[in-house]
Chain A
Amino acid sequence: MKKIKKTRLNGTFFILPAFIWHFCIIVVPACSMFYYSLTNWNGLSKPEFVGLANFRRMIHDTDFLFAIRNNLIWTVLFLFVPLVLGLGMALIFTKIGKIQMPLRTLCFLPYVISAAVSGKIFTVFYSPYSGVATIFDKLEIESLSNFAPLGDRAQALYAAAFVDNWHWWGFVLVLMMSALHQVSAELYEAADMEGAGFFQKLVHVTIPQIKPTIAAYFIFVIIATFTTFDYVWIMTQGGPAGATELLSTRIYKTNFLTYESGYSSAMSLSVCLFALSVYLILNYMQHRKGDRRE
């Protein structure tokens, strides 16, 4: 018992510097957000207490509500598109032997390109004067010769999400491949002996076996998509006409362009609480299922 206590004490000593550092630069500012969300601080002058006014304003703020809508679309896209693509390709790659490695590397390549670079590259691709539209124009496909998704309110969000998906799906592929490698070959053999087809094996063997990976992926994506910022900021800064505005870009603009730090703190706090509640719900559901199985 004494030995355990001493070991813990030693461990605490080692952790202490990092903990103090983390406490000062993460915990304190994060907690101060609670306070600032109740003020009308502009980032410079002395904050004045305004109670829940910022939260009331949020409910009627059409830009903020539109950003939530866009964020939900973004989340849904990221929950399913890279997963379906990644899992589908992983299933194919596990069957193709030696050629798998170069193909897997090729698919993973976009993931190592920085968001700034890929965002800029795709901005050029999407340009009506230098991008793919010029190819359509040369091919005399008139309906696509004016293809300029970043300037089209209906297409801009999906165009930006496509680039983020392109960057991200290679990672999901690798993640799914490693999950598939964990599935016991005996289960497939047993399914084969029972005469199960491809889809039956997928539904009854593969997916149940990699469910923990998929669940972790869901939690990660939900949290990550509510803080996503880079691609939209690089490609459109939330435009045109707010069509690609996400919560993070709205919060950034409110804080650094309109200098309403109190209001942006309230928005940040809401997003944090939302992401936290989603995480807790999913976690609770996972544990409940685990308990039932036991």
Chain B
Amino acid sequence: MRKIKKIVSVALSLSMLSSMVLGAIPVNAAETDEEITITLSWTNIPAHKQEIWQKYVFDPFKEKHPNVTIDFQCIPDQEQTTRVQLAAGAAADMFSMDCTDVFDFASSGFIVNLQEYREKYNLDEEMYDWALKACEYNGELYALPHSVETSDMTYNNDLLKELGLEVPQTREEFEKACETALEQDIIPIAWGYSGVPVLVAWFYGHYLTTYAGPENVKKLLNGEITFEDENIRGAFETMKADWDAGYINDKKSGAISNDEARSLFMNGKALFNMEGSWYPMADVEVGTWKFDWGQAKWPSMRDGVPAAGDISVGECVGINSKTEYPELCMELLLDFYLNRERAAAASAEGFSTPAAKLSAEDYPEEMHEDSVKAIAFEKEIMSADIVGYAPWGFFPSKMKVYIDDNLDKILYDQITLDEFLKEAQERLEQDLADGYQFAG
């Protein structure tokens, strides 16, 4: 009896051990009867957007390659997860990322150099050059821009008319609009960042562009001037003054989420919203807004600096340097991005605007008027003589992370502007020392 017990216990523990070891051994791809699976990791997008991916990106590709299965993984905190997976050597074949991460990923050898594809597929002709440039490391392409967007001002025209106001273009008009709204118990600018601190980038992005001006921002990011420069400092001072005056969501932005700020705007309780093209084009379903709305450049915040919108790459796609199928990955992406008709149709349905240069003729004839309006305005901003650089597309990583994490400390008087600017400058110098190059 004792012997049997002993044999059983040894057999059981060996079986547990062997199942553990066998479970850890990957299945050889060659044994899978030529079936190939490509994994694409993306941020957590709603189901209807996943359907657009399926319809316009995956299904047409699957027709050409029936043996390829695309595993589209939409995960929360995708950016952080991807970093951990990359470090562990277990990331997806392709993944979405911020342009600010291209430097880190490329310098660490985690993403494939796409320069040869850039030349092979003539990407400079097909896609926005500034979008491609934002995905470069050491002058070579390391990621493919997925979407382009503009950051501007969305307004409620019905409310503006009701208050006897025009769309503001100058600082004076902006102040007048905000003061009039406050007098009528209307929120001048709806904006909430509770739970998502990176959204402060919309806020300071506008003020840097329209107070300091894009040229000075460029100089700052090239290390030619510092945060102490009067133009840069003035941008933050004006921003803080507007916060203190209650123009920005009655100083309650830290208490509400962006969704709530959106609902304030949607329900006619706010005059403006500080989001950009992604808001009417991709984040709300067309026809949701039941009022006359429009989009405009952010008003000039001081004389001599014109009203302007910011341009940016929404996200880009990197190809894992450990993937067995870099060619297939690239084919999958370009099969969509370079097919203008399909890219435009997806965009009209609420997909982000692809970085490919689409013209008005590429879009489907029957489009909702909201989409037509939003696309037209986005084109207008992108082709304007003066455009700003949205922080999430062009700013260096350490500096941006510091500003995102600490900007509200100025708003809440937790730190002084001097301290803030000094720290931001230190981070910028670290980024420049690490090899950051402004891509605008």
Contact = CB atoms under 8 A, between A and B. Distances in A.
Given A151-B256, A239-B197, A43 B87 contact: yes
Interface string B379-407: 00000000000000000011001101110
Interface size class of B (residues with CB under 8 A): 35 or more
B254 A13 contact: no
B401 A10 contact: no
Interface string A231-261: 0001111111111000000000100111100
Interface string A206-244: 000000000000000000000000000011111111110
A185 interface: no
A197 interface: no
A284 to B, nearest CB: 38
B419 to A, nearest CB: 10
B83 A256 contact: yes
B412 A241 contact: yes
A14 interface: yes
A257 B254 CA distance: 19
A50 interface: no
B105 A44 contact: yes
A42 B9 CA distance: 45
Interface residues of A, number: 39
Contact of B408 (A10, A239, A257): A239
A38 to B, nearest CB: 18
A43 B264 contact: no
Interface in B405-437: 405-406, 408-409, 411-412, 414
Nearest to B412: A241
B104 A14 contact: no
Contacts of B60: none
B254 A239 contact: yes
Interface string A17-37: 100110000000000000000
Contact of B87 (A44, A235, A236): A44
Contacts of A237: 194-197
B84 interface: yes
A241 B194 contact: no
A150 B84 CA distance: 31
Interface string B11-34: 011001100100000000000000
Interface string B74-108: 00010010011011000000000000000011011
A190 B260 CA distance: 61
B13 A129 contact: no
A152 interface: yes
A129 to B, nearest CB: 6
Given A44-B87, A239-B408, A258-B401, A152 B255 contact: yes
Given A43-B84, A45-B107, A239-B197, A127 B254 contact: no
Nearest to A149: B255
Contacts of B411: 240-241
Contact of B398 (A236, A239, A241, A258): A258
A32 B411 CA distance: 39
A13 B13 contact: yes
B255 A148 contact: yes
B110 interface: yes
Given A129-B264, A240-B194, A20 B86 contact: no
Contacts of B12: 14
A235 B255 contact: no
Contacts of A258: 398, 401-402, 405
B218 interface: no
B302 interface: no
Contacts of B405: 253, 257-258
Contact of A151 (B10, B83, B87, B253): B253
A21 B19 CA distance: 12
Given A17-B13, A45-B107, A152-B255, 11 more contacts: A13-B13, A16-B17, A17-B17, A21-B20, A44-B108, A129-B264, A129-B269, A151-B252, A237-B195, A240-B408, A242-B414
26 contacts: A16-B17, A20-B20, A43-B84, A44-B110, A123-B194, A123-B257, A127-B256, A128-B255, A130-B260, A148-B252, A148-B255, A149-B255, A150-B194, A151-B194, A153-B412, A153-B414, A237-B196, A237-B197, A239-B194, A239-B197, A239-B408, A240-B254, A240-B408, A241-B412, A241-B414, A259-B104
